[in-house]
Chain A
Amino acid sequence: MSRSTLPDRCDVLVIGAGIVGNALVHHLALLGWHDIVQIDKGPLPNPGGSTGHASNFVFPVDHSREITDLTLDSVRQYREMGVFTESGGIEVARTQERMEELRRRMSSATAWGVESRLVTPEEIVEMVPFVDPDVVVGGFYTPSVGVVDSLRAGTIMRERAQESGALTTVPNVEVTGMTVTEGRVRAVQTDKGSIEAPVVVIACGVWSPRLARMAGAHIPLTPAVHQMISVGPCAPLAGTEGEISFPIIRDMDTFCYERQHGSDMEVGSYAHRPILHEPEEIPSIAQAKLSPTEMPFTEDDFDPQLEQALEIMPELLGDERAEIRYAINGLLSLTPDGAPVLGETPEVGGLWSCAAVWIKEGPGVGRAMAEWMTHGRSEIDLGASDIARFYPHQRTRAHIRARTSEGFNKTYGIVHPAEQWQSSRPLRLSPMHAAQRELGAVFHEAVGWERPQWYETNAGLLEEFGEAVMHRENEWDARWWSPIINAEHLAMRARGGIVDLTAFAIFDVVGPQALAAIQRIVVAQADVRVGRVIYTPVLDEAGGFRSDLTVMRLAHDHFRVVTGGAHGMVDKKWFADHLPDGARLVDLTSAISTVGLWGPRAGDVLGALTDDDISPESFAFATWRLIEVGELSVLASRISYVGEFGWELYVPMETGAALWDRLIEAGREHGVGPVGIGVYTATGRIEKGYRAYGAELDAERSLFETGMSRPRIKDADFIGRQAVLEQQGVAPRAVLCALTVDDHTCADGSRRYMLGGEPILTREGQLLTDGHGHHPYVTSAASAPSLGTHVLMAFLPPAQAVPGTELAVSYMEQLFPVTVARADATPLLDPDNLRVKGRYAELGPGTGGA
């Protein structure tokens, strides 16, 4: 029910009655929450947030699988509520470069299972007669594009929850404060009194950061302007019935859209300068002319877009009788990386964020969030949207402003999958950063760290390895890439390489219950002797991947967890959330610098610097030891993500540079030099079939689908164990495979190299479908220079997951033949792992053997 007084307490308080707040209360009620209170500072059904002025159209295809899945689920819900009108939509290209991007859109559409096709200017005009065909070179047409009534949808969802008796909604209530004790939210103060709630969700769109700050938490987003005008009445639209009868046009090269709304045409833009606001400076409902998020229109910013809109629809928009009847600077939420901000805040227990969600994802996000709050996981993996992903620097206003300013114009941009941010850099520097600059490092950024992707001073290796470096002739394929990466790879396999891994996230779990804690969180047996290193998946209750990482047992009551920087903060929260009393987590990320040393001569290099016995026989694989490297005390761990003999060497941050210098110096004599992260994360691992979290591994994948199950499941209980037992012996619905590209030649005779995300089809180009109903796509793609081939990883339907199966990959709308090389985790290179074991002498000639 809707009422005017605020209850004293509830099980969950949802702040916000925009699209996502309404979707959330609906799904919470469906999942059995029965004492939900929802408040909003505005009136219903339009409290004045971004939902109220949204253009309300849905283009389902995004390059992100997560976002597309959330959108598809949202469309299903909108359709069920009867508020979805299918109109079709066309992303049009004015340039050949954009046309290539639309071919890439086709890849994503096919991979995510959304029917789409490329269309000619003539076909566009047939569908949308007022488009000037001379302005466009083609388009990407998706018939299932449509518009929704988001206010109506919100009302329906809210009322369903109210009718079930689970929800009380109180509009016109403004939050004034939050009570947090011992790290948990307890109550929320409002202008209508206080309400106790153990769980509070901030679903306040552009105001969310302000509410989070009341509790001492951060929701990293900024209100930003999206300009929109409505022009009408337009003569060609006068006779049409209903809200929309022509496909929506996205004029991609001008970052604008044209969307019919009755007899009016709405023109919206992402082309203007980034106009950011502060949540504290948004007007109140009384102060605002229209609504708080419909800010005064600034004509100057929009005028250039008008000219471009006139180009594409000259007669319709050029009609003197059609007036600009509505024009706003609409506020919407932008985040530093463009993804939503979902999940429990890492700072305050029980305080959840459900923000930076577009209309197209709203109901899907509402469902996924409700599942997460209820079951601890959601059917659709929300890894890229998890609020825990942010490092402290990423929560600062300066960073948010810098990245959203840079990102705004990429909304319709052509964004390369490896594209680098330019702002907020450099920030996090390895202790050896200066030395790396002298080595000509080309830095790529990862969660603020500047990591050498390759070293220009290694250009000399190109000559040494000749054609084996697999040059890429196409500019797109070679963007943010260098053949030096492949040369460094070959040098590492031939002699060795030194890799800066300081970006690792590292945290210790200590205390009398440390073993119990680790044992419960990880899949592998954690009750190992002190001195062992374990590599292990981390699963959720349903057996989906939360992470994969390594754990060192440092003492009986002391474990050290090492995980990738990109996902480190999420892992940290997962561990912290699952610690029993008697175990504590200590974050050492900023205290420890890590250097990887691997390759046939790694032992020679380290041996020259230490008197400790580091022979493979003495210093066993998957163990760690404290060794002395000159005057440095080094924790050496004999593991490898590149498939070579060697170590990860850990030192205090302040001696990282000293260690680096010694290794580089000692390496020179053996031809062992610096190797960039391009080898570590791509070429090195893909030759070994090592999986990567976020690419192959996510919460929707199991141990069995990824070929990472072990013959024995440990007896000790761990999160996901029950699910793993249930999955055991059941045929997987998809199988992770490694495929090799048989022929790279495209129609114009040049050679193309896939970058990831492309659909895998039959040789003839027919769609494949796995047991989940998903279509296979390339999860990782990389050169395998030691194998002389380009390797793709993909989950295939079991029938195709057979070595030797001939398939095709669709890249830029052309088919390239591929063959399944592995249908399990067996490495393509060195399947017996002789290299890792340091048994180079047993390798054949020309394979880097001594």
Chain B
Amino acid sequence: MTDVLVCVKRVPDASGEVVLNEAGDAVDGRYAGYTMSEHEECAVAIAVEIAGESGGEVTVLSLGQEDCVEQLRAAVAVGAHAAVRIDAQADGFGPGDVAAAIASAVREKEAGGTSYDLVLLGNDAADTGDHQVGIRLAHLLARPVVAGAQTITVAEGRAEVRAGTATGTVVYELPLPAVATVLEGGVQPRYPAITGRMRARKTPIEVLAPGVEPRGNGRLGLRVLPPPESQVEVLGHGTGAAVRLAQVLRELGVVR
């Protein structure tokens, strides 16, 4: 029975043009909405798979105010069993603070009799891209960690973690309990079913105090680079474009 904790962050959906808030220190999601990163969606999918096979449970955790419940429920809708919110103003928490708060939560839960064999996080935050929380968390919990995990299987108290690289796949084996940060691409996250949404709606959200005094994120501001000039080249119209199109496809190596 493998119990998994997945940590998710409420972030603006970055599918459209990035819009900053008025202060210029955060991405604004008013147009595109809020979501969790694709890395974290994959982490949830991996966790649900591992727990499902072993009869364990998936708990999803986020640090933030009431609005991050939307992301917690989204995870429950696709198979997580329980949800924990660390009640905090996420903007005031740097990566180290978040790691400490999660570590505190893990210990608090452990003291209450709930331990997690595996803690999964996204490889990096979709809005701030810090790449830090997973490693810091592992350090604080004194657990082994693998970054950039794309698939994870658990057997006999050990996890096999696969991470893709430019030259191939690296396979790690870790003793549990462990930490892993998940990189999208190894599994296909699913959309919720209506019954999943119904479950999510009824699942209670456990609220924990952060347990740490945040030191802040140290971020001064964000800057959005102007979008690159359009690279569109009109190859022609109708059948007249065929020859040029074939030429371009050959140049790109799409056809030989």
A residues lining the B interface (CB < 8 Å) = 231, 283-284, 286-290, 295-297, 299-300, 303, 306-307, 309-310, 317-325
Q: Give the residues in chain A near B16, CB-CB below 8 Å.
A: 283, 286-289
Asked if A287 and B198 sit within 8 Å, CB to CB, the answer is no
Asked if A300 and B17 sit within 8 Å, CB to CB, the answer is no
Asked if A296 and B194 sit within 8 Å, CB to CB, the answer is no
Question: Contacts A288-B31, A306-B198, A307-B198 given: A296-B193 contact, CB under 8 Å?
Answer: no
Asked if B197 and A324 sit within 8 Å, CB to CB, the answer is yes
For the complex of A and B, list the 3 residue pairs with the smallest distance between their C-beta atoms, beginning with the closest: A296-B33, A283-B31, A323-B191
Q: Give the residues in chain A near B17, CB-CB below 8 Å.
A: 284, 286-287
CB distance from B202 to the nearest CB of A (A): 10
One of A284, A297, A320, A323 near B33 (C-beta < 8 A)? A297
Asked whether B15 is an interface residue with its Cβ less than 8 Å from the other chain, the reply is: yes
Q: Give the residues in chain B near A288, CB-CB below 8 Å.
A: 16, 31-32
Asked if A309 and B32 sit within 8 Å, CB to CB, the answer is no
- Shortest Cβ distance from A318 into B: residue: B195
Given A283-B32, A286-B17, A322-B193, output 15 extra A-B contacts at Cβ < 8 Å. A231-B193, A283-B31, A287-B32, A288-B31, A289-B32, A296-B32, A303-B201, A306-B197, A310-B194, A310-B198, A318-B194, A319-B193, A321-B193, A323-B190, A323-B193
Asked whether B87 is an interface residue with its Cβ less than 8 Å from the other chain, the reply is: no
CB distance from B126 to the nearest CB of A (A): 13
Asked whether B214 is an interface residue with its Cβ less than 8 Å from the other chain, the reply is: no
Asked if A325 and B191 sit within 8 Å, CB to CB, the answer is yes
One of A303, A309, A320 near B193 (C-beta < 8 A)? A320
Chain B window 45-75, contacts with chain A (Cβ cutoff 8 Å), 1 for yes, 0 for no: 0000000000000000000000000100110
Q: Which residues, 11 to 60 on B, are CB-close (under 8 Å) to A?
A: 13, 15-17, 19, 29, 31-34
Asked whether B94 is an interface residue with its Cβ less than 8 Å from the other chain, the reply is: no
Asked whether B227 is an interface residue with its Cβ less than 8 Å from the other chain, the reply is: yes
Alpha-carbon gap, A323 to B78, bound state (A): 9
Asked whether B192 is an interface residue with its Cβ less than 8 Å from the other chain, the reply is: yes
A selection of 14 A-B contacts at a CB cut-off of 8 Å is A283-B16, A286-B16, A286-B227, A287-B19, A287-B31, A289-B32, A289-B33, A290-B15, A303-B201, A317-B194, A320-B193, A320-B195, A320-B196, A324-B192
Alpha-carbon gap, A286 to B32, bound state (A): 10
- Shortest Cβ distance from B190 into A: residue: A323
Q: Which residues, 77 to 122 on B, are CB-close (under 8 Å) to A?
A: none
Alpha-carbon gap, A287 to B32, bound state (A): 7
CB distance from A275 to the nearest CB of B (A): 13
Alpha-carbon gap, A295 to B29, bound state (A): 11
CB distance from B34 to the nearest CB of A (A): 7
Question: Contacts A283-B16, A289-B15, A323-B190 given: A303-B31 contact, CB under 8 Å?
Answer: no
Alpha-carbon gap, A639 to B16, bound state (A): 65
Alpha-carbon gap, A289 to B29, bound state (A): 10
Interface size on B, residues (CB 8 A): 24
Asked if A289 and B13 sit within 8 Å, CB to CB, the answer is yes
CB distance from B58 to the nearest CB of A (A): 16
Alpha-carbon gap, A611 to B52, bound state (A): 97
CB distance from A132 to the nearest CB of B (A): 14
One of B15, B32, B193, B197 near A299 (C-beta < 8 A)? B197
Alpha-carbon gap, A284 to B201, bound state (A): 32
Alpha-carbon gap, A639 to B202, bound state (A): 67
CB distance from B250 to the nearest CB of A (A): 28
- Shortest Cβ distance from A310 into B: residue: B194
Q: Which residues, 157 to 209 on B, are CB-close (under 8 Å) to A?
A: 190-198, 201
Alpha-carbon gap, A319 to B194, bound state (A): 8
Q: Give the residues in chain A near B227, CB-CB below 8 Å.
A: 286
Asked if B193 and A324 sit within 8 Å, CB to CB, the answer is yes
CB distance from A786 to the nearest CB of B (A): 60
Q: Give the residues in chain A near B73, CB-CB below 8 Å.
A: 299
Alpha-carbon gap, A290 to B15, bound state (A): 8
- Shortest Cβ distance from A300 into B: residue: B70
- Shortest Cβ distance from B17 into A: residue: A286
Q: Give the residues in chain A near B70, CB-CB below 8 Å.
A: 299-300
Alpha-carbon gap, A299 to B227, bound state (A): 31
Q: Give the residues in chain B near A323, CB-CB below 8 Å.
A: 190-193
- Shortest Cβ distance from A313 into B: residue: B194
Asked if A324 and B32 sit within 8 Å, CB to CB, the answer is no
Asked if B194 and A231 sit within 8 Å, CB to CB, the answer is yes
Alpha-carbon gap, A203 to B129, bound state (A): 43
Asked if B191 and A324 sit within 8 Å, CB to CB, the answer is yes
Q: Give the residues in chain B near A306, CB-CB below 8 Å.
A: 194, 197-198
Q: Give the residues in chain B near A286, CB-CB below 8 Å.
A: 16-17, 227
CB distance from B176 to the nearest CB of A (A): 29
Task: Specify which of B29, B74, B195 lies most central, judged by the most chain A CB atoms within 10 Å of its CB.
Answer: B195
One of A296, A309, A318, A325 near B34 (C-beta < 8 A)? A296
Q: Give the residues in chain B near A321, CB-CB below 8 Å.
A: 193
Alpha-carbon gap, A297 to B15, bound state (A): 14
CB distance from A307 to the nearest CB of B (A): 6
Q: Give the residues in chain B near A310, CB-CB below 8 Å.
A: 194-195, 198
- Shortest Cβ distance from A327 into B: residue: B191
One of A297, A300, A309 near B194 (C-beta < 8 A)? A309
Q: Give the residues in chain B near A295, CB-CB below 8 Å.
A: 31, 33
- Shortest Cβ distance from B197 into A: residue: A306
- Shortest Cβ distance from A328 into B: residue: B33
Alpha-carbon gap, A324 to B192, bound state (A): 6
Alpha-carbon gap, A319 to B198, bound state (A): 12
Asked if B196 and A296 sit within 8 Å, CB to CB, the answer is no
CB distance from A748 to the nearest CB of B (A): 41
CB distance from A606 to the nearest CB of B (A): 63
CB distance from B57 to the nearest CB of A (A): 18
Alpha-carbon gap, A323 to B41, bound state (A): 15
Alpha-carbon gap, A322 to B70, bound state (A): 21
CB distance from B19 to the nearest CB of A (A): 6
Task: Specify which of B191, B194, B197 lies most central, judged by the most chain A CB atoms within 10 Å of its CB.
Answer: B194
Alpha-carbon gap, A284 to B196, bound state (A): 33
Q: Give the residues in chain B near A283, CB-CB below 8 Å.
A: 16, 31-32
Alpha-carbon gap, A475 to B13, bound state (A): 51
Q: Which residues, 196 to 230 on B, are CB-close (under 8 Å) to A?
A: 196-198, 201, 227
- Shortest Cβ distance from B18 into A: residue: A287
Asked if A296 and B192 sit within 8 Å, CB to CB, the answer is no
Q: Give the residues in chain B near A290, CB-CB below 8 Å.
A: 15
Alpha-carbon gap, A324 to B70, bound state (A): 16
Alpha-carbon gap, A325 to B13, bound state (A): 16
Asked if B194 and A324 sit within 8 Å, CB to CB, the answer is yes
- Shortest Cβ distance from B70 into A: residue: A299
Alpha-carbon gap, A300 to B196, bound state (A): 14
- Shortest Cβ distance from B196 into A: residue: A320
CB distance from A4 to the nearest CB of B (A): 10
Q: Give the residues in chain B near A324, CB-CB below 8 Å.
A: 191-194, 197
CB distance from A264 to the nearest CB of B (A): 11
Asked if A289 and B31 sit within 8 Å, CB to CB, the answer is yes
Q: Give the residues in chain A near B19, CB-CB below 8 Å.
A: 287
Asked if A296 and B29 sit within 8 Å, CB to CB, the answer is yes
CB distance from B194 to the nearest CB of A (A): 5
CB distance from B196 to the nearest CB of A (A): 7
- Shortest Cβ distance from A284 into B: residue: B17
Q: Give the residues in chain A near B190, CB-CB below 8 Å.
A: 323
Alpha-carbon gap, A318 to B197, bound state (A): 11
Alpha-carbon gap, A296 to B29, bound state (A): 9
Task: Specify which of A287, A319, A325 lies most central, judged by the most chain B CB atoms within 10 Å of its CB.
Answer: A287
CB distance from A48 to the nearest CB of B (A): 12
Q: Give the residues in chain B near A287, CB-CB below 8 Å.
A: 16-17, 19, 31-32
Alpha-carbon gap, A648 to B177, bound state (A): 91
Alpha-carbon gap, A40 to B116, bound state (A): 55
- Shortest Cβ distance from A232 into B: residue: B191
Alpha-carbon gap, A321 to B196, bound state (A): 10
- Shortest Cβ distance from B201 into A: residue: A303
Q: Give the residues in chain A near B34, CB-CB below 8 Å.
A: 296
Alpha-carbon gap, A299 to B76, bound state (A): 13
Q: Give the residues in chain A near B194, CB-CB below 8 Å.
A: 231, 306, 309-310, 317-318, 322, 324
Alpha-carbon gap, A283 to B29, bound state (A): 11
Q: Give the residues in chain A near B32, CB-CB below 8 Å.
A: 283, 287-289, 296
